[in-house]
Structure 1
Amino acid sequence: MTAYDNNNVFAKILRGEFPCYKVYENEHVLAFLDIMPRAPGHTLVIPKAPARNILDINEEDYLHVARATRIIARAAKTAFNADGVTIQQFNEAAGGQVVFHLHVHVMPRQEGIALLPPASRREDVKVLEDHADKLISALKGL
């Protein structure tokens, strides 16, 4: 297996070298908006532990990611009045992984509205700020 790259974009976000639209954080995980969302409120949940993907993360660190994913999914459903939520996680290039730091996609969904293609457009800053505020407010209600 390929070694973890400490210079991947999510590692840089964790170190504060790149900005993000943070919606949730604890000592084990960080959740922030995808800047090229496939749906309004598309959020990424990542471990703070250096893990390339699900194939190399230790079980305890993965459980923290799973718990945070559930928290974000519930908040996203509320914040965006969603009919459902899509959860996706990819492993290695052949599995569709692009950034090699474990991350889980949480996408609130509306009935009859398809997801945008991956990385198809960068969202407007004001929209991202509004979506972050909605998620943060919904998280306070959980």
Structure 2
Amino acid sequence: MSQETIFTKIINREIPADIVYEDEKALAFKDINPQAPFHVLVIPKQPIATINDVNEENAHLVGHLHLVAARLAEEHGFAENGYRVVMNCNNDGGQTVYHIHLHVLAGLEMGWPPYQSRKKVVS
């Protein structure tokens, strides 16, 4: 029931992306509109529209996306100082592409709530 999205086209190499990681289950690439000095999206290759569509059969993919996020943070030197991982759900949650994905953001000291001003710590 899932529709093809821009992420499906990236997975299928129909449109380009700056890919930073790939394995048999996931793909990670730089966000085209970065909100931090380091901002990548980690997506499952299996399309799942929203968090509401995660079920017993595909729940392992969400855990795998988090493992990839942690690996990327470590490889890029952000693991120790910290980073933020966000997954939006539906319109009010800020989801714009209906294929679940993690935003991995780093290189900023981030406040809470997220809309507070941020202090740049690396560029």
- Count of residues in Structure 1 that have an aligned counterpart in Structure 2: 111
Gaps of 5+ in 2: 111-116
With 103-112 and 19-28 compared, the bigger mean Cα shift is at 103-112
Counterpart for residue 50 of structure 2: 53
Q: Please give the TM-score of this superposition, normalised by the length of structure 1.
A: 0.69
Q: Give the number of the structure with larger relative contact order, counting CA–CA contacts within 8 Å between residues 6 or more apart.
A: 1
CA distance in 2 between counterparts of 1:93 and 1:99 reads 10
Which amino acid is the alignment partner of residue 4 of structure 1?
A: S
CA distance in 2 between counterparts of 1:84 and 1:31 reads 19
CA distance in 2 between counterparts of 1:23 and 1:41 reads 11
**SS in structure 2 of the partner of residue 5 of structure 1:** coil
Q: Please give the TM-score of this superposition, normalised by the length of structure 2.
A: 0.78
Q: Which runs of 4+ in 1 moved over 6 A?
A: none
Gaps of 5+ in 1: 116-142
CA distance in 2 between counterparts of 1:68 and 1:82 reads 16
Cα-Cα RMSD: 2.4
- For the 8 Å contact 2:73–2:79, the answer to whether it is kept is no
CA distance in 2 between counterparts of 1:46 and 1:33 reads 11
Which amino acid is the alignment partner of residue 101 of structure 2?
A: H
Q: Which has the higher strand share?
A: 2
Counterpart for residue 72 of structure 1: 72
- For the 8 Å contact 2:38–2:107, the answer to whether it is kept is no
How far has the Cα of 1:82 moved from its partner? Answer: 7.9
Counterpart for residue 118 of structure 2: 114
- For the 8 Å contact 1:82–1:109, the answer to whether it is kept is no
Q: Cα 1:81–1:54, aligned 2, differ >3 Å: closer, same or farther? A: closer
